[in-house]
Amino acid sequence: MPVALHGDLDLTDPEAQTRSRALNQFLAGVELKAFKIAQAALRHEDDALDAVQDAMLQLARAYAGRPPQEWKPLFYRILENRIRDMQRRRTVRGRVMAWLPVRGEDEGEEPDPIAQAPSPDPQPARRLELEQAMTALERSLGGLPRRQRQAFLLRTLEGMDVAETALAMGCSQGSVKTHYFRALQALRAELGDFHS
């Protein structure tokens, strides 16, 4: 299969249509996890959405013609670069902002009555427990150094192997193992042997 150098897909070409469908499927498969990863790093929903959107655009524009098996590490590498750019810009605006708690998308707006309604969940206690564990994990993840958090999320949430993670992080496989190991140690020290 000939591979285009750039992401310029000519949709009148049946092969390009197939590629576009494959790209759609790929992006649909990663977008939610990518959003969570961006959110853990940026701690702001709109910024996380912007970062994922930019990464999608850049992958589609510049790398759609690359073999599909390269898309995942490329996409996460682009996403990480975008996250870093946003963090730098934010640092310039003021370091204090980075330490504020997670801001919800409805901040400053009227509370959503549907969201406020009692949950139909038959196990509210279990749900509460789960939510507390999730909150604790997300908070701990937010406190990890950037590279450790990245290695942990790409491996644990996205399920990437070490080679893919190394490509996505732009470092050696040895570095990935080190970052991952340190992330695990830090999380265990903070959370203990928590249960999901």
Partner 1 sequence: MNPVNEPLTDFERNARVLLEESVSRIDGRTRSRLNQARHAALEAAAAPRRAWRWRSYTLMPAAGVAAALLVTLVLFNREPSVESPVLEGQHAVEDMDLLADSEGLELMDGWDGPFYEWASTENEGNVASDG
Residues that bind partner 1 (CB under 8 A): 7-11, 16, 20, 23-24, 27-28, 31-33, 35-36, 45, 49, 52-53, 56-57, 59-61, 64, 105, 130, 133-134, 137-138, 152-153, 156-157, 161-162, 176-177, 180-181, 184, 187-188, 193-196
Whether 79 and 169 have beta carbons less than 8 Å apart is answered as no
115 φ, ψ (degrees, to nearest 5):
-65, -30
Least Å distance, CB 18 to partner 1, is: 13
Whether 76 and 34 have beta carbons less than 8 Å apart is answered as yes
Least Å distance, CB 28 to partner 1, is: 6
- Rounded to whole angstroms, the Cα distance separating 59 from 76 reads 10
Angle formed at CA 64 by CA 148 and CA 165, multiple of 5 degrees: 20
- The nearer residue to partner 1, 32 or 93, going by C-beta atoms, is 32
Least Å distance, CB 180 to partner 1, is: 5
- Rounded to whole angstroms, the Cα distance separating 95 from 123 reads 40
Least Å distance, CB 174 to partner 1, is: 9
- The nearer residue to partner 1, 146 or 188, going by C-beta atoms, is 188
